Amino acid sequence: MFIIYILLFLRYMGWTKEELCKDGQKVKGLIVAERKDIQLEFTLKVISDVKFLKLGLSITLEEQ
C-alpha cells in the first residue's frame, strides 16, 4: 500500500510541475506523518524535492 501512496504523491507533483509551474519554478513535496519507516527512509534518499516532517500531537484534558 505504501508504494501506491508514494506514486500518487509523485504523480500529483509531476502534474503540478507540468500544468501550474512557470519557467524556472520548482515543485517541492512535504510528507507529514507520525513516524518514518524504512521504506520511506529509502525513498527519501533519492527524491530530493520531498521533505519529511514528524507529526507530534499532544492533547490535554481538564475537568471543569
Confidence tier at 1 by pLDDT (50, 70, 90): confident
Mean pLDDT of 52-62: 95
What letter does residue 59 receive in the DSSP assignment?
-
Phi, psi of 30 (to 5 degrees): -135, 125
In this predicted model, what pLDDT tens digit does every residue of 20-47 receive, in sequence order? 999 999 999 999 999 999 999 999 999 9
* In the chain, % of residues over pLDDT 90: 95
pLDDT at 3: 86
Mean pLDDT (the chain, rounded)? 94
Distance CA 32, CA 56 (A): 10
Q: Which residue type does 43 have?
A: T
